[in-house]
Amino acid sequence: MNSARRILCQTLALSLFIWASASHAAQKLKNEDCLACHADATLTKDMNGKQVSLTVDEKKLNHSVHGTMFTCVDCHKDVKSLVHETPPQKVTCAGCHADAQLAYSHSNHSKVSKTGKMPAANCEDCHGGVHEILATNDARSLINHANIPATCGRCHGQKFLMESNGETNQPFLSYQDSVHGRATEKGSTKAAVCTDCHGSHQILAANDDQSSISKFKIPATCGTCHSDITKTFNQSIHGQAIARGNGMSPVCTDCHGIHSIKSHQDPNSPVAEQNVSRDTCARCHEGVRLSREFGLPGNRVSSYMDSYHGLASQGGSVVAANCSSCHGVHNILPSNDPHSTVNVANLDATCGKCHKGATQKFTLTKVHLADGVHSNDIDSIAVRWIRILYIVLIILVIGAMFVHNAIIWRSKLAARRRAHPAMMVRMTVNQRWQHLVLLSSFIILVITGFALKFPDSWFAQMLGMGEHWRSIIHRVAGVALIAAGIYHVFYVVAAREGRRLLCDLAPAPRDAFDALKTMRYYLGLSPTKPEFGRFSYAEKAEYWALVWGTALMGVTGIMLWAKVWVGNLLARWWVDIATTVHFYEAILATLAILVWHFYQVFFDPDVYPMNGAWWDGKMPVDHYREEHGLDTESIAEAEAQQKGSGSTEP
């Protein structure tokens, strides 16, 4: 009896269970039906050795973008009843998001995923957990504008993960330090993030023609934010070349960088004032690549670097003109285009941005003329021949000076004996002060002048003052040199001792014979040592070379200082000639002082280690008699003073 009752109860319970299941199968399941089991945090199931969580956070589900619109079975379409011993199939988003799925299927992520060699991002990785997907305008969403870099960085910021696919995490790191990355980090909603450039679902490699970051689509991609700049660029010579399919023409990323884009005010930016010429424009316009392919002239950057603008820029100037100052930034056009900033009709306005008052006459010269490039313009011919003339002159003159002094120095060093002669006055106080001003200004001019021409040299680095102060100090020293020269002219005219000095320094025909006799004597070809008056041929030559060099450097220096006025009055090529003369005359004068004058003061064995006349004006009488035996008047005066004072020194 009891057994029959148990069977009846079991049959009834089974019938009720089957009825309930059939009833639920007949109607669509609701979320609460599923959550009756799947809200249990302990519900997990071991499937083929893989621990899979089957729990759902009801709160997160309700706040997700799907929670208010769909039920569980809208996505889990294979679930028809509460009883499903077989786990539901993996949900695909393609049912609702067919377009996004199609785009993703062509992307790099999908291609990598299909290889099975390494994991690649899928819908869940970017949009969030399956049941926790939030709308893009939700600040917590992984695909919210502010969170996109971090979302992409979960994969692309991992060094070893990216290297396993033959790539690097450097693009992500560079973006973080870029102007876009920093702006996004500060809360900007307009700064570009990964998806703005690469797209959302159909992310393709840069070498794919369909990619938004392919060479020919870069302007349009950047133009989604920088529309005005892109419009200007498209009308430029570079933009027109890209539109014609010329892949050698630069686009935005070629100049600004790709992921590491920085503000033009950042000193590390490739488009910063100090970098745009040397680093950015040089990549195309310095080599022969464009010359061979399109007939464009090369060496543009090197010729710019040799100019004042380039040298000053290397010296740290932030106001000296660079490529973009003259050619423009995004609106670069060929010089034959009437809208070009370097068109002959517009040059006065372009140059006038820095050189106020510049006229078209001031601009009549070649700008990028480089060594080896010959031109029919008078300015380039003159500069080229002056350069050749001075190079030959420097080699011959300085070479002859060096050989001359080397012969004398070797002979005197062997014959030198110690002596303690009485002293006489060789230079007056007035003359010593003139010499001191000349010496100081000359040394300063040499250092500050060559620091401009050779900004990477040790003495340029030693100054450490930048172009602004270098130029000021150079000009002050130049004024001092010119003032000393003008004073000396009045001195030799108005002062008695000055007139005597000028008379004694006047060249004479016998000076040429004295030079020949001196060489014969010190070469051992003549037993007779030549005698000189108050000044020897060597001292006379040095004095008149100094007069000539000071006048020439003063005139050309003033021309360079007043280059706009000179260029407008005469022609711009006169400024170029003045620049060439000023530079090569500076080399000639500097080497002459080192080789010729320093020998007389320091290296002559008869005066070694130094001729102190420039300091205290005194010279040994015996030495003076040996070198200037014909100046009997000065020797007699010195001896008379010694006898009158009863001292060996005046």
pLDDT at 18 over 60: no
- Please compute the mean of the pLDDT values over residues 397-407 and round it to a whole number: 93
The pLDDT, as a whole number, for residue 553 is 95
Question: Which contacts of 460-469 are long-range, i.e. CB under 8 A and separated by 24 or more positions?
Answer: 460/315, 466/315, 466/316, 466/317, 467/312, 467/315, 467/316, 467/317, 467/320, 468/317
Q: pLDDT by residue (tens digit) across 62-111? A: 778 887 777 888 888 888 777 776 777 888 888 788 888 888 888 988 88
- Please compute the mean of the pLDDT values over residues 236-253 and round it to a whole number: 93
pLDDT at 644 over 80: no
Structure tokens at 8: 């009846």
The pLDDT, as a whole number, for residue 648 is 44
Asked if 636 and 628 touch (Cβ cutoff 8 Å), the reply is no
The pLDDT, as a whole number, for residue 392 is 94
* 400-409, 494-503, 558-567, 600-609: the lowest-pLDDT one: 600-609
- Do the strands 50-53 and 44-47 form a parallel or antiparallel pair, or are they unpaired? antiparallel
Asked if 271 and 280 touch (Cβ cutoff 8 Å), the reply is yes
- Please compute the mean of the pLDDT values over residues 196-207 and round it to a whole number: 91
- Please compute the mean of the pLDDT values over residues 222-231 and round it to a whole number: 94
Percent of the chain with pLDDT over 90: 45
Q: pLDDT by residue (tens digit) across 269-284? A: 999 988 898 889 888 8
Residue 448: closest CA among 480, 415, 488, 419: 480
The pLDDT, as a whole number, for residue 548 is 95
Q: pLDDT by residue (tens digit) across 548-597? A: 999 999 999 999 999 999 989 998 889 999 999 999 999 999 999 999 99
Asked if 176 and 170 touch (Cβ cutoff 8 Å), the reply is no
The pLDDT, as a whole number, for residue 369 is 61
The pLDDT, as a whole number, for residue 640 is 76
The pLDDT, as a whole number, for residue 25 is 47
Residues 6+ apart with CB under 8 A from 277: 301, 304, 305, 310, 313, 322, 323
Specify whether the backbone of 603 is left (phi greater than 0), alpha (psi in -120 to 50) or beta: alpha
Q: pLDDT by residue (tens digit) across 573-586? A: 899 999 999 999 99
pLDDT at 649 over 50: no
Encode 548-612 in three state secondary structure.
HHHHHHHHHHHHHHCHHHHHHHCCHHHHHHHHHHHHHHHHHHHHHHHHHHHHHHHHCCCCCCCCC
* 217-221, 292-296, 466-470, 598-602: the lowest-pLDDT one: 292-296
Q: Which residue has the higher pLDDT, 201 or 11?
A: 201
- Please compute the mean of the pLDDT values over residues 463-482 and round it to a whole number: 89
Q: Which of 154-168, 391-405, 464-478 tops mean pLDDT?
A: 391-405
Q: pLDDT by residue (tens digit) across 493-506? A: 999 999 999 999 99
Structure tokens at 571: 């022609």
Asked if 288 and 263 touch (Cβ cutoff 8 Å), the reply is no
Q: Enter the pTM of the model.
A: 0.69
Q: Which residue has the higher pLDDT, 171 or 115?
A: 171
The pLDDT, as a whole number, for residue 181 is 94
The pLDDT, as a whole number, for residue 214 is 94
- The three-class DSSP label of residue 205 is coil
- Please compute the mean of the pLDDT values over residues 163-168 and round it to a whole number: 85
The burial class, CB within 10 Å (0-12 / 13-18 / 19+), for 597 is middle
The pLDDT, as a whole number, for residue 80 is 78
pLDDT at 513 over 90: yes
Percent of the chain with pLDDT over 70: 89
Q: Which residue has the higher pLDDT, 125 or 238?
A: 238
- Please compute the mean of the pLDDT values over residues 43-54 and round it to a whole number: 57
* 24-28, 444-448, 618-622: the lowest-pLDDT one: 24-28
**Domain 378-645: which CATH number of 3.40.630.30, 3.90.470.10, 3.90.79.10, 1.20.950.20:** 1.20.950.20
- Please compute the mean of the pLDDT values over residues 182-195 and round it to a whole number: 93
Give the gyration radius of the chain's Cα atoms: 43
Residue 306: closest CA among 387, 380, 367, 353: 367
The full set of domain ranges for the chain reads 30-83, 113-203, 378-645
Cα–Cα distance list, 488 to 443, 483, 551, 646 (Å): 19, 9, 12, 35
Asked if 269 and 275 touch (Cβ cutoff 8 Å), the reply is yes
- Mean pLDDT (the chain) is 85
The pLDDT, as a whole number, for residue 632 is 84
The pLDDT, as a whole number, for residue 125 is 86
